Structure 1
Amino acid sequence: MIDWHLRFLQQARWTAQLRAYLIQKAGIQPHHRILEVGCGGGAVLQDFSAGGRVMGLDIDFSSLLIARYLIPSASLLCSDGHRLPLSSESVDFSICHYFLMWVNGGEVLKEMRRITRRGGAIIAMAEPDYGGRIDHPPALSAIGHYQTQSLRDQGADPTTGRKIRGWFRDAGLINIESGVMAAQWANDQTYPQDLDMEWAVIRSDLQGYLAPEEIEALEKADRHAWLEGTRILFVPTFYAIGFVPR
């Protein structure tokens, strides 16, 4: 069984350096009003908790209970990101992280723009694009193929990353910057903890597409490739920041 909050904490570690850059570029200060749409249990929202003016929104109430424990000072809302229950221009910055792929991203961004003040910014901190995924050695490519199909069957858009710059433009934002996170493969891989979590997710995604023995064989080959230093796994992960015209 997957502990999704631990998974979201893992994803937050992956993007910590990029978030620091985006926070600086946006000019976010502790006194600013910040809303994270799709905050889950607060894995990213806790970065902004020092000022005490943070809000988190998620449709899953059980996730908000975790966020309440982690960030007692945050204002938390259980609602749908397509219809944000906030008045226009009521926050300084609105952010999201691994979220737009699960919703109608263009429509949610328009809502985020509506509730963000003039001169404020909207930040999509991380959105993957499985259409550009690289798995090596080639024998492991089935993992990416079936994970991508599983995402589609769950209602996600696996090619969200490449679309966010256009969505930011369509939402009327200006001074848009977008890019892709870099990737490095070092000898000191965080093995086995991160890999154990990764395979909990992979097994969940692949069941229903492959027989248990086929999944077991892929896992064995994947772990071996990581250990011997030949494994390359790259899912392009896009970010974008745009500002609301004054």
Structure 2
Amino acid sequence: MTSDQPGVTGIFDEAAPAYDRVGVDFFTPMGAELVRRAGIRPGDNVLDVGCGRGAVLVPAAAAAGPAGRVIGTDLAPAMVALTAEAVADLPTVSVQAGDAQAPDFPAGSFDVITAGLVLFFLPDPAAALAAYRELLRPGGRLAFSSFAAYDPLYPEAMKALAAHAVDAPPPRDAGGIFRSEETLRAALTAWAEVQVTEFRQVSRYAGGQQWFDWVDSHGGRQLTRLIPADRRAAAAADAEAVLASTRTPDGSLELTTTIRIVVAGR
């Protein structure tokens, strides 16, 4: 997790035990694809900022191999503790508390820096990008992802949840430099060989309750935690009604999310 408005780190700290652990393919395949496009080589030293439960961290370690070194940082204490425990048998990997806005390492420490679906939470993404550039060795690479498009029914289903919440917050605007490929490129003029590509992830849910549990397991918890316990089942049912048209022949709900993956050279 990363620095942001007060309370966001706490949201992810609460969500950590279930984060990417509710039986839905979402962060893990996205993280693996980010690593694949980052071009991590055997022996690379890698920093994964906002590492969460390791969706990028673990495949990055596999790509860097036994001669490499991978450090994951996160601000949420539970994320750090649980992920450190999960990778305890990987001798080239370490996990520690750290802020993705301003990682505290010497200049030129890393060959690759990764950030999977993290930077749009930061108070000053442009400053973070500049900080990452200083941490990279000459010829090093930055690889990060951000959302490009949600499934059209996703925001409608979130509205169905919000109708059951007490003092629901407005939807978060993750625009700014992440609004389009053009705005991303404009923010990366100091970098070399900038590549912006897209990746589509199809996620399946057994029904409205699993979809609710999935939302509750990540940043969406900012909304779900405001839904009283006695209204949660009704909220999940209303969301399922919104998502009914996505139902597949096997009965699951199917949503497609598109992310942008940016790889840029130092």
TM-score normalised by structure 1 residue count: 0.72
* 1:37 CA drift (Å): 0.5
* Pairwise CA RMSD: 3.9
Q: Which residue of 2 aligns with 1:176?
A: 194
Which is worse superposed, 172-181 or 221-230? 221-230
Provide, for residues 70-100 of structure 1, a one-character-per-residue CA deviation record: whole Å limited to 9, x for no partner.
1223233322222211111210000011211
Matching residue within 105, 112, 121 for 1:102 = 121
Provide, for residues 209-241 of structure 1, a one-character-per-residue CA deviation record: whole Å limited to 9, x for no partner.
x78787654421332455664577555432211
1:81 lines up with 2:100 in the alignment? yes
Secondary structure (helix, strand or coil) at the match of 1:67 reads: helix
Letter in 1 for 2:99: D
Q: Which residue of 1 aligns with 2:147?
A: 128
Provide, for residues 24-58 of structure 1, a one-character-per-residue CA deviation record: whole Å limited to 9, x for no partner.
44321231111000112323211123425100111
Pairs aligned (count): 233
1:70 lines up with 2:90 in the alignment? no
Label 1:134 to 1:56 Cα distance change in 2 as closer, same or farther (>3 A).
same
Secondary structure (helix, strand or coil) at the match of 2:237 reads: helix
1:159 lines up with 2:178 in the alignment? no
1:26 lines up with 2:48 in the alignment? no
Name the CA distance, whole Å, in 1 between partners of 2:96 and 2:182.
27
1:7 lines up with 2:26 in the alignment? no
Name the CA distance, whole Å, in 2 between partners of 1:93 and 1:11.
30
Label 1:191 to 1:89 Cα distance change in 2 as closer, same or farther (>3 A).
same
TM-score normalised by structure 2 residue count: 0.68
Name the CA distance, whole Å, in 2 between partners of 1:217 and 1:22.
36
Q: Which residue of 1 aligns with 2:4?
A: none
1:58 lines up with 2:78 in the alignment? no
Unaligned 5+ residue runs, structure 1? none
Secondary structure (helix, strand or coil) at the match of 2:20 reads: helix
Matching residue within 78, 91, 110 for 1:91 = 110
Unaligned 5+ residue runs, structure 2? 1-10, 248-252
Matching residue within 223, 240, 243 for 2:240 = 223
Structure (1 or 2) with the greater helix fraction: 1
Which is worse superposed, 167-176 or 59-68? 167-176
